Amino acid sequence: MQGPIPIESRALGTLAYIRTSIESSGSMAVPGMAGIVMGAIGILAAIVTSLPRFAPFWLPIWLVAAGIALLVGGAMMAREAAQSGHARYLGPVRKFLFCLCPALLAGAVLTLVLWRAGSTNLIPGVWLLLYGCAVLSASTVTVARTMRLICIMGALFMLLGLLAFAAPANAHTLVLGMGFGALHSIFGALIGQVSRGE
């Protein structure tokens, strides 16, 4: 016959459950597939803009690619939030957007300013640097199991931004492809692997 279960063990189990629930309700899961798809769009944009025929139109091509990637990635994240139950309360989604959007908005404004000033050679560095800042900031409200990977990805985007400022203009397509293409794809696959392993 089994003896009575100490109340302390039940209380500790309940507290662990409550703590896990609070942590998951305040954080957001980022689907790895979103990163892979966004990376594929970035790689396609890099390939198209590397062709001599389309090279003069690199800015509008990358802007269209960025818009498509944000829409597709946003839709995939919304689906993930709905499947995990976060759609019932928008706290984690709102926090994620508040962390992500200011740097993205700054990038959009600076793109217009630099384009009007005729300094489009600075735009790739600005994009990569500010996108890295946005990702690094948004990583603070992602689930613990992927937070470190997202932090590393944001830091690497920032480093690529610094590299873009130092690189000659003919290397900008390569640097943009490395960031918005390769980094997204690689870290999307890593995040997906970690999420499946949990």
pLDDT bracket for residue 37 (50, 70, 90): very high
Q: Decide if pLDDT at 5 tops 80.
A: no
- Top-confidence residue, 196 or 25: 196
* pLDDT average, residue stretch 80-102: 70
State pLDDT tens for residues 148-184.
999 999 999 999 999 999 999 999 999 999 999 999 9
Percent of the chain with pLDDT over 70: 79
- Top-confidence residue, 141 or 51: 51
**Residue 143 falls in which region: left (phi positive, over 0), alpha (psi -120 to 50) or beta:** beta
Q: Are 59 and 123 in contact (CB under 8 A)?
A: yes
State pLDDT tens for residues 92-132.
677 877 888 899 999 999 999 999 999 999 999 999 999 99
Average of per-residue pLDDT values in the chain: 84
Q: Decide if pLDDT at 55 tops 70.
A: yes
Q: Decide if pLDDT at 19 tops 60.
A: no
pLDDT bracket for residue 57 (50, 70, 90): very high
Q: Are 30 and 166 in contact (CB under 8 A)?
A: no
3-state secondary structure of 4: coil
